Amino acid sequence: MPLLTITDLSVARAGLPILSALSFCVDHGEALVLRGPNGIGKTTLLRTIAGLQPALAGEMSLAAESMAYAGHSDGLKATLSVVENLRFWADIYATKDIAPALAQMNLDALADRAAHSLSAGQKRRLGLARLLVTGRPIWVLDEPTVSLDQASVQLFAEAIRSHLAQGGAALMATHIDLGLPEARVLDLGPYRADPLAPTGGSAGAFDEAFL
């Protein structure tokens, strides 16, 4: 059975349907990249899949507590050091060893630096290192390589490959080349919804969470 199965999913923003009747699977060892122009609904779709807003229709099938989501924000505690941030997340996810995540994202030299003092790209590397300590198989990532230089994009691609090699999966939205030619690509263009279709719900109330 695939790690994640999406069936006939429709999502809305501000009470308006934006994507409809989407179906796809992401299996062990697979990366799927969502593509589409600005505003088509990639962020909305990923947030819906991450459970941050309700779907208008459709089904999602995945094991409980199998997903780690990283959105536009890095989700860091500004006053904690790099190591303290990772230990915090390791405690949340009941995992132990943060050393591989530090090494894989090239953060060893920054281990004791407060997160607020990191550059944008360093913060993003720390945000991505968080994924490594979750121990969760399905990674859902929104624009994961924003702010990263070429070397860090390569580190990211290697971290994804190693995650896939361990049976994990990644679902990502991006406009940038991730350096992962093996990833499947899903163009969201054909799933653009009719904005006049009734939503039949109160999904607009969840827009307050989009800050």
Ligand X SMILES: Nc1ncnc2c1ncn2[C@@H]1O[C@H](COP(=O)(O)OP(=O)(O)OP(=O)(O)O)[C@@H](O)[C@H]1O
39 binds ligand X (CB under 6 A): yes
Nearer to ligand X, 36 or 168 (CB): 36
Nearest CA to 192 out of 82, 29, 42, 15 is that of: 42
147 binds ligand X (CB under 6 A): no
Give the range of 32-40, 52-60, 77-85, 104-112 binding ligand X by CB under 6 A: 32-40
Among 3, 6, 40, 102, binds ligand X (CB under 6 A): 40
Residue 186 CB, nearest distance to ligand X (Å)?
A: 13
Residue 205 CB, nearest distance to ligand X (Å)?
A: 11
43 binds ligand X (CB under 6 A): yes
137 binds ligand X (CB under 6 A): no
Give the range of 40-48, 56-64, 93-101, 110-118 binding ligand X by CB under 6 A: 40-48
The residue length of the chain stands at 211
Q: How far apart are CA 79 and CA 3, in angstroms?
A: 36
Residue 199 CA to chain centroid, in angstroms?
25
Among 6, 10, 17, 41, binds ligand X (CB under 6 A): 41
Residue 146 CB, nearest distance to ligand X (Å)?
A: 10
- Max Cα separation, the chain? 53
Where b means 16+ CB within 10 Å and e means fewer, 28-48 reads ebbbbbbebeeebbbbbbbbb
Contacts of 101 (CB under 8 A, 6+ apart): 86, 107, 129, 130, 132, 133
Binding string, residues 59-88; x marks residues near ligand X by CB under 6 A: ------------------------------
Among 10, 20, 44, 145, binds ligand X (CB under 6 A): 44
If you ran DSSP here, which 8-state letter would residue 23 be given? E
In the block, tokens 């860091």 appear at 76
49 binds ligand X (CB under 6 A): no
Instruction: Please tell me the count of residues contacting ligand X according to CB under 6 A.
Output: 13
Judged by CB under 6 A, the chain residues 182 through 211 that form the site for ligand X are: 207, 210
Nearer to ligand X, 30 or 142 (CB): 142
Q: What tokens appear for 198 in the block?
A: 């009734």
Nearest CA to 183 out of 33, 26, 3, 6 is that of: 33
Q: How far apart are CA 103 and CA 46, in angstroms?
A: 28
Rg (CA), the chain: 17
Residues that bind ligand X (CB under 6 A): 13-14, 18, 36, 38-44, 207, 210
